Amino acid sequence: MLNAFNCQNGQPSRIVDVGHDDALRDAVWIDLVSPTDDEIARVVRVTGIVPPTEADVSEIETSSRLAMREGILYLSMPLVTLADGPRSSAVGFVLARERLITVRFATSRSFDAFAKHLPRGQTGADSGAYIFVALLEIIVDRQADGLEQVRIDLDAISHRIFGMGLQQEGGRKEEDAALRQILGALGRIGDLISHIRETGVGAARIVPYVEAMTRDWLPKDLRARLKTLRSDIASVSDFDTHLNDKLQFLLDATLGFINIAQNNVMKVMTITSVAGIPPVLVAGIYGMNFKAMPELEWQWGYAYALAMVLITTIIPLAIFRWRKWI
């Protein structure tokens, strides 16, 4: 898919008919979404710029993600997408003085929201650099929104975990099911946090690189916005670290509750086996068929044996209770 936007008198707008090369030639922002070979060929023919491939934007080394060739910046970063669950999809930026070309291979709410609600009013110049900075701003803003939702989810899970000891409405089976659900939820949240962190690291690398490489032509007002953006990225990174620490704490707490539940099961089994040894011993003794057994001909021998079994069962339980083991 090929989307194009021009900027007239400082106001960006979508180009409805992108089928003509002349219309595409006036675009300040060309957005390629999973482009076909024909669409890539058109962009190369009109702009003279070869867009990066999916393999190019997926490189992880810094030298591949941040490069300048013939005065044109080639940038890439991972971007969080929630289309099929939280995962990262690489996006590429080709920033020239006159236009911006973006290449992505998955849907992005940040890009779609920006394209749907383009900035109103004067952007200051007919340049793709303004579009580029605005895109970075909305990406960081989406990161912050995602982390705020993560905080809400972690607070809810925290109340649920530490409220288990106060609520005895369900049984052991219900508590085990709840702990399994909590572990699954924490795993999904941890996955989302890691992808958001990757996006933040990518943005943190891009901003200072763009500032350094565009000193001679980047407008001053954009430099101020990039400086503010660096502060926002640092704040989001600090909040991400805080949430990751809280996630680890809740994960440890959940595993601790699971260990307690397992220890309780083992304790019950241990107490049962220990309390069952004396009566089994008594029953074994009086179950032997020796003719000279003193209680064999005794009228109260059976009642005596049953009483011994009962007493030897109660005594270990009483000792456990006295030691506060049960």
For residue range 225-279, list pLDDT tens digits in order: 999 999 999 999 999 999 999 999 999 988 888 888 778 778 777 777 878 888 8
Backbone φ and ψ of 69, nearest 5°:
-135, 120
Question: What is the distance between the alpha carbons of residues 84 and 187, in angstroms, rounded to a whole number?
Answer: 16
- Can you list the alpha helix ranges (DSSP code H) found in 48-116? 54-57, 62-65, 109-116
Side chain identity at 309, as an amino acid letter?
A: V
pLDDT of residue 234: 93
pLDDT of residue 121: 52
The domain spans of the chain are: 2-262, 264-322
Least confident of 115-129, 168-182, 302-316: 115-129
- Confidence (pTM): 0.77
- Say if CB 119 and CB 135 are below 8 A apart: no
- Say if CB 77 and CB 199 are below 8 A apart: yes
CATH number, span 2-262: 3.30.460.20
Work out the percent of the chain whose per-residue pLDDT is above 70.
91
Considering the domain 264-322, what is its CATH architecture?
Up-down Bundle (1.20)
- Can you list the alpha helix ranges (DSSP code H) found in the chain? 21-25, 37-47, 54-57, 62-65, 109-116, 128-162, 172-213, 220-286, 301-322
